[in-house]
C-alpha cells in the first residue's frame, strides 16, 4: 500500500499520464498542443496584426502582407522546425518532441539565433509597427530565459509561448485606443486551454507549466519596457 500510495503521489506531482486521461481528451489535448505549438505563435500574432488589427498595417496591399507574414514564419517556424528535424535525423535528439532537457539545448540555441535575426531586421525597418517589434523581441527574450531555465527544470515551452500570447494582448488592450476585449478574451482562453492540455497529455509538472506562463509574461514585459 505504501508503494502504491507513493506512486500515485509521484504521478500526481508530474501531471496526468496519458493512460489516466480519457482517450477523447488525449486526442483533443494533442490536437490543441499541435495547433498552438510554440513555433506557430509568432506567426499567429503577426497574422492578427496584418489582417485583423485595423491600424497596424493600414494601407498595405495583400502582397506586402503575404511577404511580411512569410518572413516571420521562415525565421520563427520553418528554420527552428527544420533544425529539430535535422537533429533527430542525425541522432542528436531522441525525439522531435524534445522530451529530455538535453535534447532542447541545441534547438533553443538555434531558435534564439533565428529569433534575434527577425527581431533585429524588423526593428530596423520603419514600416513595422512597434507592436510587431515588441512581440518579436519578447520571443527572443523568452528563448534566452528558456535556455537558462532548462538547466534546472524542464520548463514548458508551450506555456512560455502562451505567456507571450497573453502578455501581447494584455499590452495591446491596455494601450489601444480601440476595443480589444474580444481578442484579449480569446487569447486568455487559448492560453488556459493549452496549459490544461499540456498538463493532461505531457509529463510536465504544475511548476513547469506555471513557470512557462511566468517566463512568457515577463519576456513581453521586458520587451515593452526595453522598446
Q: What does the pLDDT average to over 31-39?
A: 93
pLDDT in tens, 47-101: 999 999 888 888 889 999 999 999 999 999 999 999 888 887 777 666 666 677 7
CA 76 vs. chain centroid, Å, equals: 10
Dihedral of CA 213/151/135/196: which sign? negative
- pLDDT for position 14: 46
Among 104, 194, 217, 115, which residue's Cα sits nearest to residue 155? 104
Say what the pTM is: 0.86
Terminal alpha carbon distance of the chain: 57
Distance, CA of 143 to CA of 120 (rounded, Å): 15
Amino acid at each position: 500500500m505504501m508503494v502504491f500510495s507513493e506512486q500515485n503521489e509521484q504521478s500526481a506531482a508530474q501531471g496526468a499520464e496519458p493512460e489516466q486521461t480519457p482517450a477523447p481528451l488525449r486526442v483533443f489535448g494533442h490536437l490543441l498542443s499541435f495547433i498552438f505549438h510554440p513555433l506557430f505563435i509568432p506567426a499567429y500574432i503577426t497574422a492578427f496584426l496584418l489582417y485583423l488589427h485595423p491600424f497596424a498595417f493600414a494601407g498595405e496591399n495583400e502582397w506586402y502582407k503575404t511577404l511580411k507574414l512569410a518572413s516571420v514564419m521562415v525565421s520563427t517556424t520553418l528554420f527552428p522546425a527544420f533544425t529539430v528535424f535535422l537533429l533527430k535525423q542525425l541522432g542528436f535528439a531522441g525525439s522531435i518532441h524534445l522530451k529530455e532537457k538535453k535534447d532542447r539545448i541545441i534547438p533553443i540555441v538555434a531558435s534564439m539565433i533565428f529569433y534575434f535575426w527577425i527581431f533585429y531586421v524588423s526593428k530596423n525597418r520603419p514600416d513595422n509597427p512597434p507592436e510587431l517589434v515588441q512581440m518579436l523581441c519578447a520571443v527572443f527574450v523568452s528563448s534566452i530565459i528558456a535556455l537558462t531555465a532548462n538547466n534546472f527544470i524542464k520548463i514548458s515551452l508551450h506555456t512560455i509561448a502562451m505567456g507571450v500570447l497573453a502578455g501581447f494582448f494584455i499590452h495591446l488592450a491596455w494601450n489601444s485606443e480601440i476595443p480589444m476585449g474580444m481578442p484579449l478574451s480569446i487569447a486568455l482562453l487559448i492560453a488556459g486551454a493549452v496549459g490544461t492540455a499540456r498538463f493532461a497529455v505531457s509529463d510536465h509538472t504544475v511548476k513547469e507549466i506555471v513557470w512557462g506562463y511566468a517566463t512568457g509574461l515577463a519576456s513581453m514585459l521586458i520587451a515593452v519596457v526595453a522598446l
